[in-house]
Structure 1
Amino acid sequence: MNLGNAVGRSPLVLAIALGLTCPSLVLATDAPAAAPSVQLAGIDTHEAPRVTAFVDFAKKSVVEGTHLDMASAASQATPLNDSVKLAHLQLVLKPSAQRQAALETLSAQQHDPSSPNFHKWLTPAQFGTTFGVADADIAAVTSWMRAQGLTVNAVYPNKTQIDFTGTVAQIRAAFGTNEVAYTIGGKVHRSNDSNISVPTALKPVIAGVMGLNDNKPMPQHIAPRLASFNAQSGMFQLAANAAKAPATSASGVHTDAVQFPTAARGLVPGDISAMYGIDKLRAAGFTGKGVTIAVVDVANMVDADYANFMQTFHLDKYNGSFTQINPAPPSGPTNCLDPNTVDNQQYDFDETLLDVEWSAAVAPAAHIVAAICSDADAKGNATTTNFFGGAFIASANLVNASASRPDIISVSYGYGEDAIDLASKQAIDAMWAQADAEGISVFVSSGDSGSNPDFNGGLNSPTSYQGARPSAVSANAFGTSAHVTVVGGNDTADVLDNTTSKYFRKMTDPTLGTALGYVPEIPWNQSCGNEVAAKSMGFNSTVKFCQQQFKFDPNGVYATSEAGSGGPSGVVRKPSWQKLVYNAQKDQSRDVPDVSLFAGAYGAHTWVVVCTAAYPCTSNFSGPVSLSGGTSLAAPMFAGIQALVDQKLAGAGRNQMQGNAAPTLYALAAKEYGSPTSGPTDALKACNADNGNDGTQSCVFHNVTRGSIATNCAQGLGDDDPILSNCYFVADLPQYNTGLGYFPIQIGLTSMDANPQSYSAKTEAFAARPGWSFASGLGSVNATNLANAWLSYTKK
């Protein structure tokens, strides 16, 4: 290289140039120390540094995909003050294509019992040395960052992310973008106003900056309801709902066209144990002992709630344990804040309660760790400039810990891929790939709003979307990595089928449960897009059901997108293991969910019991209790099932850590259901969820084949309102309350077609079907049969 071009440059620029010519002159102190090499058969990731040109600060290149398109639709944008400090942002580094390909090769081998690399898990340091960015490249990047006045807090052991802090002015100087406060949908957010730019010489190793916008993954649970137990009926009386049912129904409509029960069923741990074959594993001594499950959250719970839950349901005899931690970064100042310290008050956060109590409900002897990093106070105000959210930081710090990493991680948070910049998506996917390579099994909830997880508790609409043509279809960006298992939501079919007496006893048993065994399941869907509900009410199509519903509900009080989520990724390609099973979607996308468990019910008829500080549980439910649900329930329950599997494997001399569960789940499902080439097996019919306990006792999976997650979607009728794609409109509502006032909208049902001209089971988004489906994935599982099949699979 001609160093003459460095004349007149700063000494630091000259040092970078000299260091690239003479690597010994670059002190790679920012990069974690190289780990001892791990022997991986057939995996070679040795490579030279990729920053080979002179780092000229004046010559910059744009890094595409680093601006959130949503911000472009803002009604107004105001620049932030130059002195505002943004702490603990993450510079996302980009490993080479060679190393990315090698990582995927290793991942496949780590899950292949016939491979010499089977279950050869890595440490964070080994992962960084083998698959991260070269130390010399990291040194060049951090030298440039410091020259811009940015504070480098830590380089993570994975060598793919750098924690840093800077002011708005420093970020603008370094990355050529302005931080602005923008308003969209009546809410104020923060974001960079353009794609970032970096020195051209560094662009090969920089993917972007995570945290320049404040979009955060949101918890995926149903708003809890307070209820009182009626010992005579064995049901819970729900507290009065703020919304009132329509006073009259149209002529000819079943009076329960929209169900609003005053009584509901509250499932307890004994019910879930009976429904999913957990009881037999527990009777054999498999309770999760020796396994650590980390649930990731952004706010605390009261410690005593766990003890109350375990004692109430007679699970304390298994001697499980529970701790709450604020996982620290591997080095440098902390980027994980304790919510109790931030707010100076004791939290009892609904999401954390659900995650902790119901992972323990399934694996009562496991060590449950609530890994919590704050991102907002009780009023929703940001408590940190970690705009990407505490859920990511807690997960990243767990995965990069030098010791005491968990066996299993459960994450019940998410948002659609349409609400995330590509740099942040890459950081999330890289984190989960690292967790998988380390042997950590990660379970992510699919979402709670049907074909787009952005609208938990709301209505799928374009009000918070980006771009000229928002879509009603997306997938959870936190879960579309090929290195996690995504858990969707089911409903028990007995209420709509009028078969409750066959599957539930009227009065509770000593553990307060009523389930007699496995109960037929349908996809969880609380909207009029629920085909099973439509049929139960006497309609031959959901379109007619919805049209009739909105005739006597013209204000759209009961329009909803509340349902288990599923859909195709627009970013991640379909992994090879997802192609194994019968009826796998014939697309090129990573499709979710992978499996599903109970999450909620049509008509809000069935929930699970949660013990809280305000409403503690008692042995006879003498006081009011909290009822909850959502795919935030399903994910930690499946994490609990994985803990039982792990304990059984460890007892048989196998590796307790299993990495991503999905490759094994699909391999087992292919045996039970058949493959795209072999066609369906006889077991596919026998293992249909509709059979209940009749013939499914030996099945690993319960195949959910009725119903859908197609829900309501809507767009405004004003001339300037965005046009929503993937929505088949069925009615006009003249006075829909958006929260910003009443104005007319079109309301419809989500469709697989971008411009739907008709609506059927083939076009709705999305219908359950034999084999795999967007509605329920592979279906639910019998935990005992799953553990036995998993043990047999690893004998290869």
Structure 2
Amino acid sequence: MSLIDHKRAVISISKGLLLVFMLSSITEVSARVPDSIKSVAPKIRLTHAIDDQDRVTLHGNRHPALNTSIDQGPVNAELVLQNMILVLQPSASQQAELDAFTQAQQTPGSPEYHHWLTPEEFGNHFGVAAQDITTIKNYLTSHGFSVTDQLSGAHTIVFSGTAAQVKQAFHTEIHNYLWQGENHIANSSEPQIPAALSSVVSGIVNLHDFQSKSRKPSTTPSTPGSSLTPNILPDANTDLIAPYLNLTSTSHYLTPSDFAAIYDINPLYAANINGSGVTIAVLGKTDVLLGDISKFQTVNQPPFTTVNLPIVVQANGDPGYVSSDQTESTLDLEWAGAIAPQATVKFVTSPGGPLTVNHFTVQGDGITYSALYTVTNNLADVISLSYGACEQSMGSTYLNYYNNLWQQAAAQGTTVVVSSGDSGAAGCDASSNSTASNGLGINGLCSSPYSTCVGGTEFNEGSNTSYWLSNNPAQTPYTTATGYIPEVVWNESGTVLYASGGGKSQFWSKPNWQVAGGVPADGVRDVPDVSMTAALHDSYQIWITVNGVVTQQFIGGTSAATPAFAGILALAVQYNGGRLGNINPTLYGLSQLQSNGSYGYFHPTLSGNNSVPGQIGYTATGTAYNLATGLGSVDANILIRHWRDYGNANNKTLRAAISNISSSLLNPSNTNISISSSAASITAGQALTLTANVSGDVPSGSVQFLANGVALDHTATLSGGVASLTTAALTSSGTNLITAHYLGDNNNLPSSTVSALSEFVLAAPSISIAVSAPTISAGQSLTITATVSGASPSGSIQFYLNGAALDSPVSLVGGVAALTTNHINITGNDTLSAVYSGDANNAGASSAGLTETVTAALPTPAPLLSAWMELVLALLLAAMLVRHRKFSP
């Protein structure tokens, strides 16, 4: 190696250490911690009268599957849609405060660190004003809907009504569709709402019956080394391997005690860390047989010492036994409790799915309501969800719904874990498909930065037989695993797509905490975050009723890895004395420490990929992170006992390492980014050019601009340290906070703007005019009324007649200005128009012309004599007659 190459290598290593050092501190530096959230409160935003004729379209509420479905016409007008959810949005300033607050909650040393809120406190500060909620409820009930729920948090309103009422209130019809052989109902077009409600209402959930799917493989796999025929359950989505027996050296099953031996949980059990005092919520949409779970726990003692059955919470009625979901929920409940045997496990379940009650009632997706009920009632310390939907198919309303919900959970201290899926990189294809055809995709229920996405690994025993005992013991707890087994990416695809879900979000930008070796500099949220075993050849034992008999079966997939990891987190909550909230910043912070010589919290995945037939995926190359298994699996004992390492380290280890490197080799290594705009204020939708200047060591790469924390358009490429983006995406009136993030390159560290650039956006109002009469005579009195929409417009209106100013300007009152005039004298078809002057929050605007027909004035008749004038004349005439007679000869 030449001296130059050696120097470059040293610089690269040094900058890597500095990168970890700086990014492990970035949250603390950039967090804007409020002195007190008491000053944050919802303001009344619905101040205009609701005009059902003045409407706006809510985009992102029509299911993309309809583009490839066969429309079979409208449903019966009396069809009842249950559990529709109106999604409400906080103001821009509330959202900025909430983002800052939830960031501060995970910033060690912050006054708000682990300061959790109740749902009521969340709603009081970050929800919608009570008066606005009442206004919206009144609108719904005025159209015949029944408002069935108003849950804590003030972000949603749950309501029900008929298809006819949906059409009347939201101007969209509910149609029958045939999609890939399945019958569905859905709204045929994007819904519309009165413009007066648009500042608060952002969308509608459950206008269709497309369901989130169980995230477990959906066909029965073959069993390596076994010719046994698996039992078949009535659940069409169940994956079974073989009855309980000694499988071959290449095919095993997992009991809870096996899992504990592999992932180093036993030292925690020995210290009575068993989930006591912690609550896990498992979300579902079916009933389960508690006898199945009792059998599972009775057989697996230890870790169970006594039967500890879950508490069933029917959030919105009894869903009944749904064959396509029962195995999923049984699996989730048995394994969440298996890892935290003394935790309280709550099964929150809601009706959802196909038509019921004589085919005249349809439920929305039960998972959406189960999730909403759990969060808004603050039911659990940890939430486990093993369902999903392709991010591209969800639409912006569903994605925002879950992101808002998971952010509320984070603010309340609840940790949310969601499975990444079982179709490898082809997350928009069913895992049972033989070939992927829908491109790259991920699970949209776990792509939110406020949830932890759990992928799947596969044990790589190879020819080494020492990882398992040669025979299963004849007595409980049936432990055959001897310790940790090396892992690769779970990929059993071939005739099916079974592999760990993972990839890049097409909706969410990169959170600042997602930093680790191997994390792509792509500017977007990457999933999964962690993984646990999910392969079928070493699958999870469950007990479930088959044909009336409680039977032992075996299953795999990320839907098994997820509740097991939720159980580990329940142990972490107990050990650390309280809730953990959004654990992602801590996970990635610990990974940075591990990369620099700290404890082995994770087992990084060294090889494998999640490519499946028809779709190339992502490969593990031994770095700390990869897009198939995230940070890898965990050593539960080390992770839990050293959970606070990231917060308590104060970067001493990193500073010590960096201090031994010559500073002359390190400079320059950091960067600074500043931004400017082409105009301090613009009108909504107007093109604006944003420019970023990045200082450093000849920085290259790209810059991501963000407005109010949301990525704008595409990334901008640096040239000469400057990157520019011209965008027309700023449409939210008021002050928009513009920031930028430099993604870094080989010689420069990433950096973010220290303070936001305030860009004021004027609303782009529209003007409509009306007249009291379409036809008048010249000089006749006429009233002209102008109505202005916008951000509470004030100011004045100048009316015009054939392009010339008509009388004096008229002040707006409540968005309306009226002029009564008799100065219209030009006969024929005259053109009336109006020009709005604009104000501090609204741009000026002009109306379209309105034709007024003016006819010639009628001749003015001679004025009639008044009665008293007639009397005077009569008296004068009489006097003249008398005088005439007097002087007559």
Q: TM-score, normalised by structure 2?
A: 0.64
* Match 1:135 to one of 126, 130, 134: 130
Report what 2:371 is aligned to: 395
Check whether the contact 1:768–1:775 (CA below 8 A) recurs between aligned residues: no
Q: CA deviation at 1:625?
A: 2.6
- Verify: 1:581 aligned to 2:516, yes or no: yes
Q: CA deviation at 1:190?
A: 1.3
Q: CA deviation at 1:380?
A: 14
CA distance, structure 2, for counterparts of residue 203 and residue 112 of structure 1: 34
Report what 2:251 is aligned to: 264
CA 1:703–1:657: 2 relative to 1, 3 Å: same
Report what 2:850 is aligned to: none
Paired AA for residue 585 in structure 1: P
Report what 1:660 is aligned to: 582
Check whether the contact 2:280–2:343 (CA below 8 A) recurs between aligned residues: yes
Report what 2:404 is aligned to: 430
Check whether the contact 1:238–1:263 (CA below 8 A) recurs between aligned residues: no
Check whether the contact 2:313–2:346 (CA below 8 A) recurs between aligned residues: no
Aligned pairs, how many? Answer: 601
State how 1:561-640 maps to structure 2 within 5 Å: 561-578=497-514, 580-601=515-536, 605-614=537-546, 625-640=552-567
Report what 1:256 is aligned to: none
Report what 1:182 is aligned to: 177
Report what 1:374 is aligned to: 351
* Match 1:515 to one of 481, 484, 508: 481
Q: CA deviation at 1:572?
A: 1.6
Q: CA deviation at 1:379?
A: 12
Check whether the contact 1:768–1:774 (CA below 8 A) recurs between aligned residues: no
Report what 2:60 is aligned to: 65
Paired AA for residue 168 in structure 1: A
CA distance, structure 2, for counterparts of residue 156 and residue 710 of structure 1: 42
Paired AA for residue 398 in structure 1: T
Paired AA for residue 325 in structure 1: V
CA distance, structure 2, for counterparts of residue 373 and residue 447 of structure 1: 22
CA distance, structure 2, for counterparts of residue 433 and residue 40 of structure 1: 20
CA 1:130–1:46: 2 relative to 1, 3 Å: closer
CA distance, structure 2, for counterparts of residue 682 and residue 364 of structure 1: 33
CA distance, structure 2, for counterparts of residue 449 and residue 226 of structure 1: 14
Q: CA deviation at 1:376?
A: 4.1
Q: CA deviation at 1:274?
A: 0.9
CA distance, structure 1, for counterparts of residue 516 and residue 75 of structure 2: 51
CA distance, structure 1, for counterparts of residue 394 and residue 139 of structure 2: 27
Paired AA for residue 785 in structure 1: I
- Verify: 1:239 aligned to 2:140, yes or no: no
Q: CA deviation at 1:782?
A: 0.3
CA 1:707–1:241: 2 relative to 1, 3 Å: farther
Paired AA for residue 452 in structure 1: A
Q: Deviations over 1:266-305 (max 9, x none)?
A: 1111111111111111122211111111111112221122
CA 1:384–1:570: 2 relative to 1, 3 Å: farther
Check whether the contact 2:114–2:413 (CA below 8 A) recurs between aligned residues: yes
CA distance, structure 1, for counterparts of residue 51 and residue 216 of structure 2: 49
CA distance, structure 1, for counterparts of residue 626 and residue 513 of structure 2: 15
State, as a whole percentage, how many aligned pairs show the same letter.
30
CA 1:327–1:347: 2 relative to 1, 3 Å: same
CA distance, structure 1, for counterparts of residue 343 and residue 55 of structure 2: 51
Report what 1:555 is aligned to: none
* Match 2:463 to one of 498, 503, 528: 498
Check whether the contact 2:37–2:125 (CA below 8 A) recurs between aligned residues: no
CA distance, structure 2, for counterparts of residue 327 and residue 518 of structure 1: 39
CA distance, structure 2, for counterparts of residue 461 and residue 163 of structure 1: 39
State how 1:658-737 maps to structure 2 within 5 Å: 658-673=580-595, 681=596, 698-713=599-614
Paired AA for residue 513 in structure 1: T
- The answer for unaligned runs of 5 or more in structure 2 is 1-32, 233-246, 650-889
Check whether the contact 1:336–1:390 (CA below 8 A) recurs between aligned residues: no
Q: CA deviation at 1:786?
A: 0.2
* Match 1:160 to one of 155, 159, 163: 155
CA distance, structure 2, for counterparts of residue 241 and residue 283 of structure 1: 37
Q: Deviations over 1:666-718 (max 9, x none)?
A: 11111112xxxxxxx467xxxxxxxxxxxxxx5110000200011012xxxxx
Check whether the contact 1:339–1:377 (CA below 8 A) recurs between aligned residues: no
Paired AA for residue 425 in structure 1: L
Paired AA for residue 529 in structure 2: D
Q: CA deviation at 1:606?
A: 2.1
CA 1:320–1:110: 2 relative to 1, 3 Å: farther
Q: Which moved more, 1:205-214 or 1:39-48?
A: 39-48
Partner secondary structure for residue 122 of structure 2: helix
Paired AA for residue 497 in structure 2: S
Paired AA for residue 473 in structure 1: L
CA distance, structure 1, for counterparts of residue 161 and residue 355 of structure 2: 26
Greater strand fraction, Structure 1 or Structure 2:
2
State how 1:144-293 maps to structure 2 within 5 Å: 144-223=139-218, 238-239=228-229, 264-293=251-280
Report what 1:691 is aligned to: none
CA distance, structure 1, for counterparts of residue 384 and residue 169 of structure 2: 36
CA distance, structure 2, for counterparts of residue 91 and residue 573 of structure 1: 25
Partner secondary structure for residue 141 of structure 1: helix
Check whether the contact 2:43–2:128 (CA below 8 A) recurs between aligned residues: no
Check whether the contact 1:89–1:164 (CA below 8 A) recurs between aligned residues: yes
CA 1:213–1:765: 2 relative to 1, 3 Å: farther
CA distance, structure 1, for counterparts of residue 434 and residue 107 of structure 2: 40
Paired AA for residue 366 in structure 1: A
CA distance, structure 2, for counterparts of residue 624 and residue 239 of structure 1: 14
Q: Deviations over 1:463-521 (max 9, x none)?
A: xxxxxxx7421111111111111100111011xx322x132221234521211111000
Give the aligned CA root-mean-square deviation in angstroms: 3.1
Report what 2:829 is aligned to: none
Q: CA deviation at 1:100?
A: 1.4
Paired AA for residue 612 in structure 2: T
CA distance, structure 1, for counterparts of residue 249 and residue 219 of structure 2: 15
- Verify: 1:481 aligned to 2:463, yes or no: no
CA distance, structure 2, for counterparts of residue 420 and residue 237 of structure 1: 41
CA distance, structure 2, for counterparts of residue 616 and residue 40 of structure 1: 60
Q: CA deviation at 1:113?
A: 2.0
Q: CA deviation at 1:143?
A: 2.0
Check whether the contact 1:88–1:385 (CA below 8 A) recurs between aligned residues: no
Check whether the contact 1:581–1:771 (CA below 8 A) recurs between aligned residues: yes
Check whether the contact 1:287–1:318 (CA below 8 A) recurs between aligned residues: no
- Verify: 1:304 aligned to 2:291, yes or no: yes
Paired AA for residue 280 in structure 1: P
Q: CA deviation at 1:40?
A: 6.0
- Verify: 1:98 aligned to 2:93, yes or no: yes
CA distance, structure 1, for counterparts of residue 41 and residue 248 of structure 2: 63
Paired AA for residue 528 in structure 2: P
Q: Deviations over 1:222-265 (max 9, x none)?
A: 3486999xxxx9x97641699xxxxxxxxxxxxxxxxx999831
CA 1:47–1:374: 2 relative to 1, 3 Å: closer
Paired AA for residue 329 in structure 2: T
CA 1:197–1:378: 2 relative to 1, 3 Å: closer
Q: Deviations over 1:5-60 (max 9, x none)?
A: xxxxxxxxxxxxxxxxxxxxxxxxxxxxxxxxx99636742353222333211100
CA distance, structure 1, for counterparts of residue 227 and residue 303 of structure 2: 28
Q: CA deviation at 1:767?
A: 4.3
Partner secondary structure for residue 508 of structure 2: strand
Q: Deviations over 1:752-773 (max 9, x none)?
A: xxxxxxxxxxxx4454541211
CA distance, structure 2, for counterparts of residue 52 and residue 380 of structure 1: 41
Report what 1:446 is aligned to: 420
CA distance, structure 2, for counterparts of residue 703 and residue 55 of structure 1: 56
* Match 1:781 to one of 631, 634, 643: 634
Q: Deviations over 1:209-229 (max 9, x none)?
A: 10112221111123486999x
CA distance, structure 1, for counterparts of residue 334 and residue 357 of structure 2: 24
CA distance, structure 2, for counterparts of residue 215 and residue 421 of structure 1: 12
CA distance, structure 1, for counterparts of residue 178 and residue 150 of structure 2: 34
The structure with the largest alpha-carbon Rg is: 2
CA 1:184–1:613: 2 relative to 1, 3 Å: closer
